[in-house]
Amino acid sequence: MTLAVRYTSARTLDTAPATASEPGPGEVELAPAYVGICGTDLHIFHGDMDARVAPPAVLGHEMAGRIVRVGSGVEGWRPGDAVTVMPLRWDDTCPACRAGHQHICQHLDFIGIDSPGAMQQRWTVPASTLIRLPATLPLDQAALVEPTAVAVHDVGRAAVKDGEKVVVVGGGPVGVLIALVARAAGADVRVVELNAHRRLLAEELGLTTWDPAATDITELVQRWTGEAGADVAFEVSGAAGGVDTAVDVLGVRGRLCLVAIHPRPREINLHRFFWRELTLVGARLYDRGDFERAVALVADGTVPAQRLITKIVPLTEAPAAFEALESGGDVMKILVDCTDDAQGAAV
């Protein structure tokens, strides 16, 4: 018997015994080591995704761990291999898949939302979802590969180029990762963030930050760019004001990349889009190439994952960790330690 963190109803999580299913053909059984809590997990916790999530639901999709068992027909993997998971299952038959966009399959199973996730001591997944990790990469740092893959995909969708001026609106975990990946692509980056703790952390990573409560961001961008405006803006805040800022800072033919989940329609200055010939692109999830690039960026220190981890809690304390993240404050990324030793549970 193992333990799992389960969503049971709005604002209610528990840790309960779970039975690991034996890996079937083409499947592997994993022992998750560390699982990150992300904004989507908080949306589930709030009850905002009950149309997709069927309680009791095991959460978590930002993970790193090791293979325990492999099912029949699985080649190239063996027990003990360090892995992360690209938590996507697509049908390969819908129009999106046939067009080559499997990661946004029209019937996508996002593992950890639509089906059981990683916040448990044993987890069975298709071998096709595995991404190999370097043996030298600590597993706690490797748990940040998935959000880094999000950032890699976002920067790719915005087609960020060397020398461009980039504004990231929102300095949470994904915003900081986008800034780091954009900087690695050669961009000159500014991060707009209200929270002082998050600004300080970003600055410690060598990023320049601006406080929108203390200054006029549009005016700063005008001075920074010689009145040209930014080439690219990323909206990562999820707030109406963040959308306005991201639009207002863009120069002629600038690109706005929408990253944050906005649960309700927002007003947007379409006249600005007309007047400056702006482009809006959506960015959702990632593909295998994004994941492999993310592994490299974390492994070589371009993304200093350890600096982004605020704390690590045992699986039994995960419900309290959700509440800590919800309150904001001096928190960036919390990991849940799912290892057997951390829980003292019999397996």
- Residues with catalytic annotation? 40, 43
DSSP assigned state of 112: T
Give the chain's end-to-end CA distance (angstroms, integer). 5
With tokens 């929102």, the residue in question is: 170
Q: How far apart are CA 90 and CA 77, in angstroms?
A: 22
Tokens of 71: 């099912």
Residue type at position 288: R
Chain centroid offset of residue 123 CA: 20
The 3-class SS string of 153-213 reads HHHHHCCCCCCCEEEEECCCHHHHHHHHHHHHCCCEEEEECCCHHHHHHHHHCCCEEECCC
Q: How far apart are CA 346 and CA 332, in angstroms?
A: 31
Q: How far apart are CA 242 and CA 261, in angstroms?
A: 12
DSSP assigned state of 317: G
Tokens of 30: 């994993």
Largest CA distance in the chain: 64
- Whole-angstrom Cα Rg for the chain: 20
| C-alpha distances in Å from residue 128, one per residue of 19, 54, 109, 152 | 22, 24, 14, 21
Give the number of residues written for the chain. Answer: 347
